[in-house]
Structure 1
Amino acid sequence: MTLPQEIISILKNLEDSGFEAYAVGGCVRDLSLDKKPKDWDITTNAKPEQIQELFPEHFYENSFGTVTVKTEAEDPSLREIQITPYRVEGKYTDKRHPEEVEFVTKLEDDLSRRDFTVNAMAINKAGEIKDAFGGKEDLKNKLIRTVGKPEERFGEDALRILRAARFAAVLGFDINTATSRAMKENSEWLRAISKERIRDEFIKIINSENAYHGILLLEDLGLLEYITPELRQGINVGQNLHHIYTVWEHNLLALKYATEKNYSLEIRLASLFHDIGKPQTKNGDGKYSTFYGHDIVGAKITAKLMERLKFSKDITEKVVRLVRYHLFYYNVGEVTESSVRRLLVNVGPENIEDLIKVREADRIGSGRPKAVPYKLRHLKYLIDKVSNDPISAKMLKVNGQDIMKELGISPSPKIGLILSCLLAEVLDDPTKNKKEELIIRIHDLDKSTPEDLKNSLDKIQKAIEAEEKERMKKYYV
């Protein structure tokens, strides 16, 4: 197992100065899984002041003894390396932070305080792994297990309960029986954790390839109610003749599709939350039940839960908008260009493609065979059509007022003919659409006969037909 040169150099510097030094934690786990580490941590028996002496390019602004050393690596993950002395931690009375930190001399003592066995391995510059708690075996068996007693590890930092679920989801691992039992029994400890920290773990699950199974795991372990209890209200809520799944199943299957398509975080969240308002708006039962206004109610619920979890304003506004307008109408022959323009205004042109992706997820999550049926392709065609300026004289850098001013004439059909002729020339060569050049052409065209000017209309009509033909080819096969 080969380490990056920057890490080898730091480890060597520490060892040459008489200290022990190892890369530790998640980077060793990732290396063992043949994955590229996102960041690197080093542990050593050197004290913070000794580390600072060895590495002049550093900063040290914490109470845990961690010194961040700067490198000149091209790889962003190697530009700042955190070096922390071997340490053990005191009591966690708030289930978040240790009351005190004590530096120790043995690597095994440091590894014993870590959360899970797969994160409690260390590697030296020669590539030799120190594994005191069976991390390698658990990686081989695809198992998440705490270091020592689960209750003690979770009691030190309750976020570890959620981290265990996140690692299982992201890595596709199972959770050790004793560990999962302790997670269920102590799930209420998550109430002591800040919403920001919970949100970050939730995002990592949603952004993973196994987001669908991750949400199911959160529910199975009794953790989802501490993150998005609103989502749970759809459990066992039947729908109507348009759906074969419950609201809960449908929302999760929509997320599954968005994940399989590798869509953005916002689309994944909107797909998961798009029908979150249905339980509150359900009227009747069986195949003729209705959910009128669930899009509006769902948008309000989504806004509140995302605000509670401290999502950024930009992400919240986008997801709420996608949820609010996910029910857009698109029946061929009934949807009009004006209704499409209203949709663009409501959603924002920059969000329309993402809205269609949420609708795709909605369809597949309903058990439909096609994500993009003919009706949706027709809508895309209309959106393209109304989003682009039509071929008209408005494209020109001059207008009728300019022609009347230059030629000293009053309003007349001739002005329209000159504009049409200019437009035909610009369609042939867009570089000619400059006010100075067009004014010169206005004077030239003033000498032409009406018949000559009318010939340009045929050219414009052919251009319009060609543009429409290309648009049709794009959306209709």
Structure 2
Amino acid sequence: MKTDEFTRKRIKPMLKLPGYIEKIMAELRKEGYACFVVGGAVRDMMAGEKPWDWDLATDAPLGNVLKIFPKATVISEELSVVRIRSAEDEKNDEADLGYVDVARLRKEKYAPESFGIPSEIIFTNSIESDLERRDFTVNAMACSIEVELIDPYGGAEDVSKRVLKMVGEPLTRLEEDPVRILRAIRLVAERNYSFSGSLQRAIAEKADLLIHISKDRVRDEFVRIVTGENAAKAIEVAEDAGVLKWITGIDKPLKRLKPLQLLNPNSYSNISERNAATLKDYRILLSLCVFYRRYFEEDALEAIEYLNYSGKTAKVIKDAIMTGNRLSNISDKFELKEYIAEYGFEFYDLMEDVLRIEEESDSKAAKMRRARLEAAAEIQRENDPLTIKDLAVNGDDITKLGATGKTVGLVLEHLAKQVRRNPEINDREKLLKIAEEMMKWNLK
């Protein structure tokens, strides 16, 4: 509950603002405007953690902010939010986030069944009024440039206890914006928070309001949940609260064939140069594959369609669902070549990590996986031919032998299969002879 008087404390020994944040705040102060660090950055600093992003709140009107920071980008004119990028020549770790969002202090009102879209936005000069609209007590703190903490709802204490409490009446606040349900679960996944009893009951009661939230928004939140360091805990919380069915579109439990804690892919045994440049994307794909493989195939495919993943992402997850068991049973080098030729080394790397997570306690599976990894490394080291493009002949060569249409592709596929089994025959003359023999069997 809100205290009678707003809590303000000087906590300079606890917090340290990056230089580029102080510069932005100082520029606004110089022009006579108030400015505060708000939201997750204050929460994370209070927990002794490095903030992932920085949000500032000011009483300066949008036009005035743009005059002070002419290179700023307007993110939302309606909400008076701009994005200020840190100086390009700032060569220090403080600039690694790249930008700061600055919003005007505001209050919000919601009409019934508005589901996250305020019916009225009222700009204000009061930081306390701005904090009143925020979701959880741990997010309803602000910090001035003098490093004075403004904490009207006891957020600092809740940070220390790692507990999520709603600002205001939980049922009402979730009705205003059901996305707050997903944000709460995300804080479990990313920052290892737990729910207060009142919030837990409210989420269970209002979970069905997520049907009114766009699939794109649900998907974006879920990706952050499933890639969090505490994803397993968050997924269990979501399932127990009846939220998971609004993420997957299916009202069926996860199949508990393996311990759910294995969902956390905190290390990557098979990360390769092919994937290292896109480690964030790799982590997302790995986490999604592990999650959806915990449903039976038919249910998993339905759940993937429900959240409208991009074509490439959907294909990778579906392939992981349908081919993982095939890879798990491969113990022959030729079979491994067949698999890699069909799906590529990048997907193979991914699937080996999926299986490593799923089969972590299975010594027999681990032994087979090590053998596959050694075979794959040898295939790469020897540069063994795997696909049609690796052949010493091409389509034109086969056409000159008299093949037409689909027959050309059939001959090349047959040659590629032969070469995967016997790399030494990948010689132009040898392959042309094999192709000629095939042509005699009326494959024209």
Change (3 A) 1:251 1:114: same
1:152 corresponds to which residue?
Answer: 172
Change (3 A) 1:229 1:248: farther
What SS does structure 2 have at the residue aligned with 1:354? helix
Q: TM-score, normalised by structure 1?
A: 0.68
The yes-or-no answer on 1:51 pairing with 2:65 is yes
% same residue: 28
Q: Which has the higher contact order (CA 8 A, sep 6+)?
A: 2
Could you give the per-residue CA deviations for residues 39-58 of structure 1, whole angstroms, max 9, x where no partner exists?
21111222222222322222
The yes-or-no answer on 1:11 pairing with 2:25 is yes
CA apart distance, 1:148: 1.1
- 1:133 corresponds to which letter in structure 2? Y
Contact 2:268 2:353 in 1 (8 A): no
The yes-or-no answer on 1:64 pairing with 2:58 is no
1:383 corresponds to which residue?
Answer: 376
Whole-angstrom CA distance in 1 between matches of 2:354 and 2:299:
17
The yes-or-no answer on 1:347 pairing with 2:376 is no
2:191 corresponds to which residue?
Answer: 171
CA apart distance, 1:172: 1.3
The yes-or-no answer on 1:141 pairing with 2:161 is yes
Change (3 A) 1:249 1:29: farther
Change (3 A) 1:126 1:382: same
CA apart distance, 1:275: 4.8
What SS does structure 2 have at the residue aligned with 1:326? helix
The yes-or-no answer on 1:323 pairing with 2:321 is yes
The yes-or-no answer on 1:80 pairing with 2:99 is yes
Give the one of 309, 330, 337 matched to 1:311.
309
Whole-angstrom CA distance in 2 between matches of 1:217 and 1:350:
33
Give the one of 364, 372, 380 matched to 2:366.
372
Matches within 5 A, 1:270-289: 270-277=289-296
CA RMSD of aligned residues (A): 2.6
What SS does structure 2 have at the residue aligned with 1:148? coil
Aligned residue pairs total 354
1:112 corresponds to which residue?
Answer: 132
Q: Which moved more, 1:352-361 or 1:196-205?
A: 352-361
What stretches of structure 1 of length at least 5 have no aligned partner?
Answer: 236-246, 278-297, 393-398, 400-477
Whole-angstrom CA distance in 2 between matches of 1:255 and 1:273:
10
Could you give the per-residue CA deviations for residues 145-193 of structure 1, whole angstroms, max 9, x where no partner exists?
1111112221221100111111123211211111111111111111111
What SS does structure 2 have at the residue aligned with 1:42? strand
2:116 corresponds to which residue?
Answer: 96
Whole-angstrom CA distance in 2 between matches of 1:77 and 1:384:
35
Q: TM-score, normalised by structure 2?
A: 0.73
Could you give the per-residue CA deviations for residues 401-444 of structure 1, whole angstroms, max 9, x where no partner exists?
xxxxxxxxxxxxxxxxxxxxxxxxxxxxxxxxxxxxxxxxxxxx
Contact 2:248 2:304 in 1 (8 A): no
Whole-angstrom CA distance in 2 between matches of 1:96 and 1:317:
32
The yes-or-no answer on 1:28 pairing with 2:42 is yes
2:353 corresponds to which residue?
Answer: 357
Contact 1:211 1:259 in 2 (8 A): no
Whole-angstrom CA distance in 1 between matches of 2:39 and 2:295:
38
2:423 corresponds to which residue?
Answer: none
Larger Rg computed on CA atoms? 1
2:219 corresponds to which residue?
Answer: 199
Whole-angstrom CA distance in 2 between matches of 1:180 and 1:377:
43
Change (3 A) 1:79 1:382: closer
Whole-angstrom CA distance in 1 between matches of 2:295 and 2:84:
46
CA apart distance, 1:210: 0.9
